[in-house]
Structure 1
Amino acid sequence: MYISEQLLNPDERRLRLSAQLGVEHVVLDNRGTEMVSAAGGVNAWDSARLKAYRQWVEGFDLKLDVFALDVGSILLDSLLDLEGARRQRDVLAQNIKKAADAGITCLKYNVQMVGITRTGMKPGRGGARNSSFVHAEYRPEEDRKHSYWGVGYPTDQAEGGTDTAMLCGQKVAREVPPVTEKAGWDAIEFLIEGLVPAADNAGVRLACHPHDPAYPVGGLNGVEHVVGSADGLRKFLSLSSSRNHGLNFCQGTVAEMFRDPGAAMIPVIEEFAATGRIFMVHFRNIRGGYLDFQEVFPDEGDVDMFQAIKAYQRGGYAGPLCPDHVPISALDEKRERFMAFALGYTRGLLQAAGVWHTPAR
């Protein structure tokens, strides 16, 4: 295992900082730009531009582990406009091949239909603020204020506006028609049926991020989060036997599925690691659990992060650990220092566990 930093549209300064922090591998998302897109829009990629982008990043002594595949609104569209969704799926399948042509071997994607629901900020250590989801405090009209939209962090972020929510295919919960459990699985199966064969042909792994957060039984605002439980993750993996069909295993999101994540997570991590279907890990921690949690620094949550690393090791996982969702503070507006802390903490745990290694580049 090794650390890999997630970055959104990084510039030269940011890539140099990552290298100086000892990062050697990165996971990149460039939604909202045309740096890798074919002429006329940001949906279809251009393999030559994508390859040039990868080479530019790797010129900073960084290896590009994973690149984001933005599925847009295809899941909702498959329930409302099947023909339009098929056209989008064809573009995504073509993008998978173009990624392979550009030398990219793993793509991550997210099956959120609505924003990553949060209900507000909780006080953290030293005056930092922790993003939280407390079901009892949920108010639909405050979704956009507190929730995550596609990428980034909630509140005070450029990502938090309507344009980005639409760009990332996510809607406010009350604006979405009911999505039953059956409809949710139908939409995901539609996506998998189109993308996994393309991934097999191209030799590209697809890493899916589960639903964040787990919703109550019956859903929230009529929307079910079907990949919002351990059983949902198991069913998701069962949709295809392809070894290219797997998970962006967000440890924090999976922890949110349990009332006592401190007790539940270690065996669950080992179980899913043993499938060989974890392609990357969001290595983050929470305090609390199902329907009542807050996102905290990795060293202060309810999951023992050292034991988590040992569980990944026992399960045979040897891929990237990506720190994610650190708290918010006016003292670190870009979260570079907070992320540096999380990176160093993760690297220290790996070294203490005796599993640190740098894979061949």
Structure 2
Amino acid sequence: MYVGTQLSGEAFEAVGDRYLRQLAQLGVRHVCVDPVGNPHDWTRDILARHIDRIDAAGLVLDMVQLPMSSAGVDKVKSPSIVLGQDPDRQREVDGICALIEMLGALGIRATKYNFNILGIPRTTSERGRGGAVLSTFRHDQTTDQDTLSRAGQVSTEQMWERITWFLERVVPVAEASKVRLACHPHDPLTRPGYRGMEERVLGSADGLKKFVSIAESPYHGLNFCQGTIAESLVNPREEIGDIIRWFGSRKKIFNVHFRNIKGGRYSFTEEFPDAGDMDMADSLRIYHEVGTDCMIMPDHVPDIDGEAPFEAAFAFCYGYIIGLFQANGWDPYGA
């Protein structure tokens, strides 16, 4: 395992090669950076040029994002897979399978994705250390409980049918291409019936355990967001270690969002890694103990003041992660 980071194609277009050089200067060698443009339009040539661009900055492209984002069905153009809509979902999955095959042929050995209907619900942000702005979710403060998404009412059975349909088609392609599929949990777990969802089935550890048992394969696992999983727990500090061990010992962790929170189920703020309730140093030791072999990266950092708040906040997190590695005598940079 080693320090890493991620950047969408839209964000990459804004910051460009300067940001890649900055990552290399900060000691972040491994990245998930998407090519600029619509993922549905990526070709082998576009991906190959993108790999060359990452290489030229002294970085390694570990993964990219499939065109299945965290935005939710109301904000994406092609949501037929998660909506279970035939025949369009077959066309979409065919495109995703072709993309997975291209990634494998080009030596990109992992990809991440979301199977998300509601997006990432949040309530009014709150203030944290020094006035930093913290992304917040207080279920008791939500005002859209009865506002249905484009999906309408969705039962638990329907959600599992759609997930199973997808996995049965993409996992064999990923296996043949030797590309690991890393799915992000539903962020956050919400109360039953929220916005028409009987259950956010990938919002809890139990749901994720069921998920990885479908279409069992060493290429089917998780973009293990520690913060999201903690959001579903009653006592994240005490519970998270056993959950990391369960998935890690079964080799189902393909990427780690090393994110801390204050609070827990239905009520939390997102924090810097050193400021939340979980013992992140202990968490990193558990990832190491179970043989995690992927990027350990920041995610959802608080908003801070300054001329480059995004870059400064992430730089702090890279330094924190690298410091934890070095305190244990481990190489944080990767081969």
Question: Cα 1:8–1:252, aligned 2, differ >3 Å: closer, same or farther?
Answer: same
Give SS of 2:122's match: coil
Corresponding position of 1:308: 283
Q: Distance in 2 between matches of 1:187 and 1:132?
A: 29
For residue 244 of structure 2, the aligned residue among 269, 274, 277 is 269
Matches within 5 A, 1:54-65: 54-65=51-62
Asked if residue 124 in structure 1 is aligned to residue 124 in structure 2, the reply is no
Q: Distance in 2 between matches of 1:219 and 1:354?
A: 47
The 8 Å contact of residues 44 and 91 in structure 1, kept in 2 or not, is answered as: no
Give SS of 2:87's match: helix
Letter in 1 for 2:28: V
Q: Deviations over 1:290-309 (max 9, x none)?
A: 00000011101011000001
Q: Which moved more, 1:314-323 or 1:285-294?
A: 314-323
The 8 Å contact of residues 80 and 92 in structure 2, kept in 1 or not, is answered as: no
Corresponding position of 2:193: 219
Q: Distance in 2 between matches of 1:52 and 1:253?
A: 33
The 8 Å contact of residues 283 and 322 in structure 1, kept in 2 or not, is answered as: yes
Letter in 1 for 2:227: G
Distance apart, 1:113 and its partner CA: 1.1
Corresponding position of 1:146: none
Aligned residues: 322
Distance apart, 1:131 and its partner CA: 0.5
Matches within 5 A, 1:225-304: 225-304=200-279
The 8 Å contact of residues 118 and 149 in structure 2, kept in 1 or not, is answered as: no
Matches within 5 A, 1:179-194: 179-194=154-169
For residue 67 of structure 1, the aligned residue among 61, 64, 81 is 64
For residue 28 of structure 2, the aligned residue among 23, 26, 32 is 23
For residue 320 of structure 1, the aligned residue among 281, 285, 295 is 295
The 8 Å contact of residues 79 and 183 in structure 1, kept in 2 or not, is answered as: no
The 8 Å contact of residues 75 and 191 in structure 1, kept in 2 or not, is answered as: no
Corresponding position of 1:105: 109
Question: Cα 1:188–1:75, aligned 2, differ >3 Å: closer, same or farther?
Answer: farther
Q: Deviations over 1:26-72 (max 9, x none)?
A: 11234xx43xx6xxxx5142112101111111110000111111126
The 8 Å contact of residues 75 and 187 in structure 1, kept in 2 or not, is answered as: no
The 8 Å contact of residues 287 and 302 in structure 1, kept in 2 or not, is answered as: yes
Letter in 2 for 1:71: M
Q: Distance in 2 between matches of 1:57 and 1:174?
A: 37
Question: Cα 1:243–1:15, aligned 2, differ >3 Å: closer, same or farther?
Answer: same
The 8 Å contact of residues 3 and 322 in structure 2, kept in 1 or not, is answered as: yes
Q: Distance in 1 between matches of 2:207 and 2:264?
A: 17
For residue 206 of structure 1, the aligned residue among 181, 204, 207 is 181
The 8 Å contact of residues 251 and 285 in structure 1, kept in 2 or not, is answered as: yes
Q: Deviations over 1:169-205 (max 9, x none)?
A: xxx8544301111111111111111111111111111
For residue 40 of structure 2, the aligned residue among 43, 46, 71 is 43
Q: Distance in 1 between matches of 2:238 and 2:86?
A: 42
Letter in 2 for 1:4: G
Q: Which moved more, 1:65-74 or 1:278-287?
A: 65-74
Corresponding position of 1:195: 170
Q: Distance in 1 between matches of 2:304 and 2:226?
A: 23
The alignment's C-alpha RMSD in Å is 1.9
The 8 Å contact of residues 82 and 163 in structure 2, kept in 1 or not, is answered as: no
Distance apart, 1:357 and its partner CA: 4.5
The 8 Å contact of residues 121 and 188 in structure 2, kept in 1 or not, is answered as: yes
Asked if residue 5 in structure 1 is aligned to residue 5 in structure 2, the reply is yes
State the TM-score, normalized to the length of structure 2: 0.91
Q: Distance in 2 between matches of 1:117 and 1:78?
A: 17
Q: Distance in 2 between matches of 1:63 and 1:232?
A: 32
Distance apart, 1:76 and its partner CA: 5.0
Corresponding position of 1:81: 85
Distance apart, 1:276 and its partner CA: 0.7
Distance apart, 1:358 and its partner CA: 3.6
Q: Distance in 1 between matches of 2:85 and 2:284?
A: 43
State the TM-score, normalized to the length of structure 1: 0.85
Asked if residue 337 in structure 1 is aligned to residue 334 in structure 2, the reply is no
Question: Cα 1:79–1:311, aligned 2, differ >3 Å: closer, same or farther?
Answer: same
Letter in 2 for 1:115: G
Identity %: 39
Distance apart, 1:75 and its partner CA: 5.8
Q: Note the residue ranges of structure 2 that are not aligned, 5 or more in a row.
A: none
Distance apart, 1:112 and its partner CA: 1.3
Give SS of 1:331's match: coil
